C-alpha cells in the first residue's frame, strides 16, 4: 500500500509539472557597463555536486518573477536588498519555463522523496552554510537528479516559499529559487528593469 501511494504521489507530481506563475527572473552579476547581454545565457555551467553542501554549483538559477509596475523583482532580488546589495543589478532577464519536468521541494516529504531516488553518499562532513543550520538528512545527488528532471524548484509551483526548512538550511536555499539544468529548457523573453535597494543597491 505504501508503494502504491508513493507511485500515485509521483504521478501527481509529474502531472503538476511546472510553474503556475508566468515567469522566472534571472539576475546576473557583473554585467559590463550595467547592461545585461542575453548571449551570456548561452553557456550555463554544468551542474556539479558540492561535497558537504546540499546545493549544486552550475546550472541556471532563477526565482519566480513578480511584476512591480514598471520594474520586476523576485524572492532572490528581495533577499539581496537586505543581505547582499552589492550583488544587485538594475537589469534582469525574464524567462519562461518550456518544461513541466520540474521537481518541486515544497516540504520535508518532497525532500525525502528526492533523496530516496537520488541519495548523495559523502565521505566528508555534511556542512551547513546557514547560521543556526545543521546537516541535512536528505543530501541530494543533484548531478543525477538533473539528468532526470529539467529543474529542481525550492518552493511551490505558484512561487511561494518552501516549508522544507531543514533541507533549505543545509544548503543555503535561503529563499524560493530554481536551478534549471541549462538554458535549453527555458524560453528567453526579454531584458527587464529590476527593483533596487534604496540608494541604488551598489
155 inside domain: yes
Q: How do beta strands 186-193 and 66-67 pair?
A: unpaired
Domain count, the chain: 1
202 inside domain: no
201 inside domain: no
Of 163, 35, 161, residue with least CA distance to 108 = 163
25 inside domain: yes
- CA dist list (Å): 24 to 87, 142, 158, 184: 18, 21, 11, 14
The tens-digit pLDDT sequence of the chain (202 residues) is: 444 445 444 544 444 468 999 999 999 876 656 566 777 677 789 999 987 788 999 999 999 999 999 999 999 999 998 888 888 889 999 999 999 999 999 999 999 999 999 998 765 555 444 444 445 567 899 999 999 999 999 999 999 999 998 888 888 887 999 999 999 999 999 999 999 977 544 4
The range of the structural domain enclosing residue 33 comes to: 2-193
Amino acid at each position: 500500500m505504501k508503494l502504491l501511494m508513493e507511485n500515485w504521489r509521483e504521478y501527481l507530481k509529474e502531472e503538476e509539472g511546472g510553474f503556475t506563475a508566468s515567469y522566472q527572473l534571472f539576475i546576473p552579476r557583473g554585467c559590463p557597463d550595467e547592461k545585461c547581454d542575453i548571449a551570456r545565457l548561452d553557456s550555463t555551467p554544468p551542474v556539479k555536486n558540492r561535497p558537504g553542501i546540499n546545493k549544486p554549483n552550475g546550472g541556471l538559477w532563477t526565482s519566480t518573477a513578480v511584476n512591480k509596475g514598471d520594474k520586476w523583482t523576485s524572492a532572490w532580488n528581495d533577499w539581496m536588498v537586505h543581505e547582499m546589495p552589492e550583488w544587485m543589478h538594475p537589469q534582469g532577464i525574464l524567462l519562461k519555463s518550456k518544461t513541466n519536468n520540474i521537481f518541486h521541494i515544497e516540504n520535508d516529504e518532497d525532500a525525502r522523496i528526492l533523496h530516496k531516488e537520488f541519495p548523495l553518499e559523502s565521505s566528508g562532513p555534511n556542512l551547513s552554510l546557514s547560521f543556526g543550520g545543521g546537516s541535512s538528512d536528505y543530501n541530494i545527488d543533484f548531478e543525477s537528479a538533473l539528468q532526470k528532471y529539467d529543474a529542481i524548484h525550492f518552493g511551490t509551483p505558484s512561487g511561494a516559499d518552501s516549508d522544507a526548512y531543514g533541507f533549505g538550511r543545509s544548503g543555503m536555499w535561503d529563499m524560493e529559487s530554481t536551478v534549471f539544468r541549462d538554458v535549453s529548457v527555458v524560453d528567453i523573453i526579454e531584458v527587464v528593469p529590476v527593483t533596487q535597494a534604496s540608494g541604488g543597491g551598489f
